[in-house]
Structures are given as structure tokens and as C-alpha cells.
Amino acid sequence: MFETLSDRLTSVFTSLRGKGRLSEEDIDTTAREIRLALLEADVALPVVRAFIARIKERAQGAEVSKALNPAQQVIKIVNDELIDILGGETRELRFAKNPPTVIMLAGLQGSGKTTLAGKLGRWLAAERNTPLLVAADLQRPNAVTQLQVVGERAEVPVFAPEPGNGVGDPVEVARASVEQAEHNNHNVVIIDTAGRLGVDSEMMQQAADIRDAVTPDEILFVVDAMIGQDAVNTAQSFLDGVGYDAVALTKLDGDARGGAALSIRHITGRPIMFASTGEKLDDFTLFHPDRMASRILD
């Protein structure tokens, strides 16, 4: 994860080692190199600009510290700013005062929604919750079966339309699932919605209709981190078309650059809540900006 970015930043810091004091020129060169590293990592330009401005400002006014040499000071500044750009605090899941807590997943086809539904369900069940997964993706013939398979592996029950009843209405399925959860004491409902390969107004409308029918407590935008800047564009379209409270970043295990992770919070104003780091059900955690920054600078 983020190997390319890590390597680039490490080499920037290495060139500062042994310097007694940072000249104006050193700061400029360092800022330029960090800028290049971020651009190569596919970080969105407004984010790069804001990041570099902060680094320069803080390096110029460098806190004179006896404990840290100039290279260490720059590392500390970059670390602080990375944490900030990744969202600062960890965003915890918000539970509804009156159960069930309704979580809706939205995102493109292939972004990892169904897998994430299973991971989230299992993660919640391990914390003594009683989740119910809901198959409201009725677009793809296999989507319902796929969620059932994921649910079985995660040992989390799945609510799905009866087979043979035609295609079914995803809005009705979502609405009925909440009623079912109330009757059967499921305290969390996780609704998997339909995605398309690209941004599409019909898909957005369907997600918006489900949203209006069940008023979710949390809408999570699920996005594949490996698509870099495209993740940022898609994130913006979903923000305009459906709206969401937080982001779940998937496939971080295959993302050497980190552009999506570093851009999405700044561009959308929405925190990253979950990180998916593999195909296995356990490859899933709450997203911790400070741990992620340390990982990048490790």
C-alpha cells in the first residue's frame, strides 16, 4: 500500500539528512520534490497546492526545536499535514438512537460494495451487533446470489426478494428490509445498492429513491482506491447525485500511489470511514488517518 509515494518521500527526506539548518533554497527544493511526489501519486491538484502551501509556511516559520534536526522537523511537518489531509480524527460509525441503524452503500459496479457489505456485517457482528444485509442491487442477475454467498461466509443473514417474483423493486426491498429488521431485532441494516460501470443518472436516481424511502443513518460511498483521480471525479458525482456521509475506500492493498486516499477528503469534505485491504472478509478496518500517515512515512 502506497509504496511508490513512501519511497519518493523517503528519498526527499534522505537528501535533507546532515543539514545543520534549512536555507530558503532547501525549503523550496524540498517543497518542489514533495509536490512532484504527490503529483506522481495522482493526488488532485487543488490538494497538492494546499498541501505544499502549508508545508512551506510551516517550514519557513520552523518551530526551533532542540530535540529535532531539520530533516526530522520536515518529516514531522509532513506527517502532521498528511494526517490533516487524510481527515484528522478517526470517524466512528454513528448508531441511530432508535434501532435499526440503517447504512446504505452506494458506488460504481465493481467498487467492492457487496464485499464491503459482508465485511462490515461481520465486523459489526463481532462487536455484538445483529446486522442484516439487504440485496437491493436487482440490476445484475448475479448480485443477489453474490450477496447471499458473502452473507453466508460472513455468517450474517441476508434479506433478498423471493426468487421467481420478477425483477422486483429495490426501493420496496429496502423498505421491507427495515420492517423485517424491526421485527427480528436486527440493530443494523446494511443495504447494498446497484452500481453501474460508469456514472449514470438512472443509477443515481435509484439510489436517491432508496435513500428517500429509508432515510439512512449513514450513507457510505464505496470507491476503488486503485482508480486514483477518477475516484475523486466519481466521488463528486455521487455527492451531487445521492449525497453521502462518509467514504469506504476499497482495494487499498493494490494501491501503490495513494492519490484517492489523499484527495478524497479535501475535495468532498467527507471523511474516509473504512479501509478495505484485500478480498478476505477480515481485510477491513476503520480508517485511522494517523496510522495511515505513519505508514506512508515509515
Whole-number Å distance between alpha carbons of 91 and 94? 9
Residue 112 marked ligand-binding: yes
Query: Of the two residues 39 and 256, which places its CB atom closer to ligand GDP in the complex?
Result: 256
Does residue 111 bind ligand GDP (CB under 6 A)? Answer: yes
Question: With contacts defined by CB under 6 A, how many residues of the chain interact with ligand GDP?
Answer: 18
Least Å from the CB of residue 191 to ligand GDP: 12
Residue 193 marked ligand-binding: yes
What mask of x and - would describe binding to ligand GDP in positions 247 to 276, judged by CB under 6 A?
Answer: ---xx-xx---------------------x
Does residue 113 bind ligand GDP (CB under 6 A)? Answer: yes
Residue 111 marked ligand-binding: yes
Q: Residues 172 to 211: which contact ligand GDP by CB under 6 A? A: 195
What mask of x and - would describe binding to ligand GDP in positions 32 to 71, judged by CB under 6 A?
Answer: ----------------------------------------
Least Å from the CB of residue 197 to ligand GDP: 9
Residue from 69, 79, 109, 187 binding ligand GDP (CB under 6 A): 109
Residue 109 marked ligand-binding: yes
Residue from 93, 178, 277, 287 binding ligand GDP (CB under 6 A): 277
Which residues contact ligand GDP (rule: CB under 6 A)?
107, 109-115, 195, 250-251, 253-254, 276-279, 283
